[in-house]
Each structure stands twice: as structure tokens, then as C-alpha cells.
């Protein structure tokens, strides 16, 4: 019947979710945070520096939102 495929779909879903969860935990362990941003071009680095100044807490991954920027 059709419901016999449900366990196989569940196994496939778990196998697809495990790498993303593992990546987040590996980044948290090695970098100190889940957020990891690579800069390949100077423009990307300037965006990170801009985000760091805008956040007000010296973290580029913390956002204040457009309505809170002076």
C-alpha cells in the first residue's frame, strides 16, 4: 500500500537534515558562533565592516533593522 513508503521517506528526510545540523554545530564549535561568513572580494569585507558598525555591539551578524538606524 501507499503507506509502506512513509518509513523510507522519513529515513531520506533525516539523511538530508543531518548535514545541515552537523555543519551548524561544527561552526559553533570551531568559530565560536553558528554564523560564518567568508569574504572572497574586498566589497564583501566592506559590507561586513559596515554591518559591524551598524549593529552597535561589534558583531556583524547582529542586526538592528532599518527602522532603528540613526
Residue pLDDT, tens place only, 22-51 = 887 887 777 666 565 666 778 877 887 777
Alpha carbon of residue 21 to chain centroid: 10
What value does the mean pLDDT take over residues 53-59? 71
Judge contact between 64 and 56, C-beta under 8 A: yes
* This prediction's pTM: 0.42
Amino acid at each position: 500500500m501507499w503507506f509502506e513508503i512513509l518509513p523510507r521517506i522519513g529515513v531520506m528526510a533525516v539523511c538530508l537534515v543531518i548535514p545541515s545540523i552537523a555543519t551548524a554545530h561544527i561552526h559553533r564549535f570551531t568559530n565560536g558562533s553558528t554564523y560564518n561568513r567568508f569574504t572572497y572580494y574586498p566589497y564583501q569585507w566592506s559590507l561586513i565592516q559596515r554591518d559591524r558598525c551598524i549593529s552597535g555591539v561589534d558583531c556583524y551578524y547582529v542586526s538592528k533593522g532599518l527602522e532603528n538606524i540613526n
